[in-house]
Structure 1
Amino acid sequence: MPRCKFAAWLARPSSCVAIVGASGWVGMALADQVLATRPDLAPNRLRLFGSSPRDLKLPNRQAHMEPLDQAARLGDGDWLVLHAAIVGDDRVEGGDPAEVRRRNDTLLNQVLGLAETGQTRRLVAFSSGAAHRPNAGSAARRAYATMKRDHEAAAAEWGRRTGRAVLIPRVFNLGGPFINHAEAYALGDFILALARRGRIAIGAADPVFRGFVHVSEMARVVLDMAVDEAQSAEPFDIGGAEVVELGALALVVGEALGRADPAIDRPEPGDGPGDWYVGDGRRYQSALFRRGEAPTPLARIVADTVAYLEATGALAGAPDGA
């Protein structure tokens, strides 16, 4: 029998959720799943935070997003605080890594401060699979990975100091609705390239392996884990059940766009070991199983990503037959 812990918890009148970074990919998926669980949830029991006030259109409701730096106290209730926000280098002039780090440190401190203004049941601090590889890639990538590791440690230390529970999911590869900055991700880039230009370009000669998870599936599982007292503060990977090489991913994208044999530009295979960015999904997959769910198939993940981008107009100007 499925055990949907979050639904049972949210049915209590004292249960409340705060989402920081509510307009981002993960934040939107979390808010959507909270409201899918309880569509009639009172506005004061779901508070959404971002860098500035704005109205956020969700599938089940239009909600207001509060500026985090002016946030009122959480107050009464049994709160989950979900931190899914990030200040990317695209929001910092020149992409200066030191300034990116400073702004994200400030953001984390604001979230921790918010979580101390109410009876916080658990802080969920989303991290990145990059934390596994602090010495890999460019200087900017290394700085990002180091920051994520440091923020994991800071969240865990905050939990020990305040006596509040912490959950630290490390996100690797996502797909599905609410994707933003699509060009920055291989899946989004492949979809946009094939739809708009009729070709997919893969720059890597060596194999590149990824394991995708549907963002809505992840949101449901993490919400269940967040109210599960048996879950520890040890970081864990959001690891998919399927591992796919980018060439095979391009073929799945082609199928989703109605192109069974998509044009793919890629160098001749190299002799390097390739790149694996997959994650150890054992803890995540166990929680998914306890919900009574099976992993979302890759074809469905890709199809849902295509459908969202199409619905938002991102595929406008696609050539005939796309």
Structure 2
Amino acid sequence: MIVRGDQHIAIAGAGGWIGLATLDLLEQALGDALAERISCYGSTERSLTLRSGRQVQQRPLSQIATLNATRIWLLHFAFLNKDRAEAMSEDAYRTVNDTISATVLNAVSTLPVEAAFVASSGAASKVTDPFASPAMRLYGQMKLDDEARFADWAEGHGRRAVISRIFNITGPYINKHQAYAIANFIMDALADRPIAVRAPREVFRAYVAIRELMSLGFALMADRSAPVIRFDSGGEAMELGRVAQNVAQVLNGGSVNRTAITDAQPDRYVGDDRVYTALRHAHGVEAVPLSRQILETADYMRGLVN
């Protein structure tokens, strides 16, 4: 990943999967300059440990507006995801996410932020889907609201908002291994178990590596051709049975046990790869093949399961 310019990079939600993976990429790009070029914020003050062993201090998100820097790029990864919507009351969930959004929006409005990367979600495309769960629709609506706020900020202040609806990603720091299909398949393969695909319907997913996604994100923040750019994460759409076969082949795993498909309603959660691919090509970002994504994700997970 190439980080163009000398902007200070503020990361809201640094301790989550995407935040930690991005910190890892920034460490590779900036080396020892990382400490002076980045500031991390999250729900609590704590130390974040990268794969290299480097410790990065995270400060409370409430302190983000006190950042002292002359040129800033802000990465907005802070949000309670769908699993929290399932566990909380709707009012509580809305209150927390509205507070997070308002805190970050205040920071981009009052600090010299030149560009912001807003990590939205593919759930924003499911708001009116009658087959989506109430938690998915609620999460998606709040992500839609967040997209609109930051687009308005960029257009009203002459700044740049790069808004990405993230569907399915791979790479180090992956979490929720039981919830994410590809992580579950990798766990089975690493444990020498048959890979189980339990969905009783066709399930389609498309994967991109975090390092690919964020390389594009940084390139787009540097491109000031328009105040707002929106794109979905892309990748080739595959049914989970085929994804599992890829995992088994790459990791020299065993068999794949695919539950019989008895439900005619497919589950399709993929972004617009045509726009994503066009943006990649325009900015010279190479695609990471699925086989490489699997290896890189498994390398990280292997250290967790052994």
For the 8 Å contact 1:173–1:211, the answer to whether it is kept is yes
Give the Å deviation of 1:186: 0.9
The corresponding residue for 1:300 is 292
The alignment yields a C-alpha RMSD, in angstroms, of: 2.3
State the secondary structure of the residue aligned to 1:99: helix
Structure 1 match to 2:122 = 129
- Cross-structure match for 2:237: 243
| Alignment-derived partner of residue 218 in structure 1 | 213
Q: Which residue of 1 aligns with 2:93?
A: 100
Cα distance, 1:36 vs structure 2: 1.9
SS of corresponding position for 2:287:
coil
TM-score where L is the length of structure 1: 0.86
The amino acid that maps onto 2:80 is V
The alpha-carbon distance between structure 1 residues 98 and 197, as it changes in their structure 2 partners (threshold 3 A), is farther
Q: Secondary structure at the match of 1:8?
A: coil
- Residue type matched to 1:54 in 2? R
Matched, 1:69 2:62: yes
2:301: which partner in 1? Answer: 309
Partner residue, 2:17: 25
Which residue in 2 is equivalent to 1:109? 102
1:120 is matched with 113
Q: How does 1:138-153 map to 2 (within 5 A)?
A: 138-153=133-148
Equivalent in 252, 256, 260 of residue 258 of structure 1:
252
- 1:182 is paired with a residue whose SS is coil
C-alpha deviation, 1:19, in angstroms: 0.6
After TM superposition, list the pairs within 5 Å mapping 1:72-91 onto structure 2: 73-88=66-81
Could you tell me whether the CA contact under 8 Å between 1:198 and 1:263 is conserved in 2? Answer: no
Q: Is the 8 A contact 2:159 2:227 kept in 1?
A: no
Counterpart of 2:299 in 1: which secondary structure? helix
Moved more, 276-285 or 219-228: 276-285
Take 1:37 and 1:86, find their aligned partners in 2: how far apart are those partners? Answer: 26
- Candidates 48, 52, 57, aligned match of 2:44: 52
Q: Distance in 2 between matches of 1:131 and 1:246?
A: 22
Q: Is the 8 A contact 1:75 1:119 kept in 2?
A: no
Instruction: Name the CA shift for 1:7/1:155 in 2 (closer, same or farther; >3 Å).
Output: closer
Identify if the C-alpha distance between structure 1 residues 92 and 75 changes in structure 2 by more than 3 Å, giving closer, same or farther: same
Quick one: distance in 1 between partners of 2:249 and 2:150? 42
Q: What's the counterpart of residue 319 of structure 1?
A: none
TM-score by length of 2: 0.90
Shift of 1:85: 1.8
Aligned match of 1:320: none
Distance 1:202 1:97, change over 3 A: farther
> 1:263 and 1:282 mapped to 2: Cα distance?
30
Count of aligned pairs between the two proteins: 303
Which consecutive unaligned segments of at least 5 residues does structure 2 have? Answer: none
1:285 to 277, 283, 301: 277
| Corresponding residue to 2:33 among 13, 34, 41 | 41
Q: Percent identity at matched positions?
A: 33
Tell me, what secondary structure is at the counterpart of 2:249?
Answer: helix
Q: Which amino acid aligns with 1:166?
A: A
Q: Which moved more, 1:220-229 or 1:81-90?
A: 81-90
Task: Name the amino acid aligned to 1:156.
Answer: A
Residue pair 1:125, 1:169 contacting (<8 A) in 2 also? yes
Q: Verify the 8 A CA contact 1:156 1:233 in the aligned structure 2.
A: yes
Q: CA deviation at 1:33?
A: 2.0
Say which is worse superposed, 284-293 or 223-232, in terms of deviation. Answer: 284-293
Q: Aligned with 2:248: secondary structure?
A: helix
Structure 1 CA distance, aligned partners of 2:46 and 2:89?
Answer: 27
Cα distance, 1:277 vs structure 2: 1.6
Structure 1 CA distance for aligned equivalents of residues 21 and 282 of structure 2 = 20
Output the CA distance in 2 between the equivalents of 1:7 and 1:128: 24
Amino acid at match of 2:94: R
Alpha-carbon shift at residue 158 of structure 1 (Å) = 2.4
- 1:7 pairs, out of 3, 7, 10, with 3
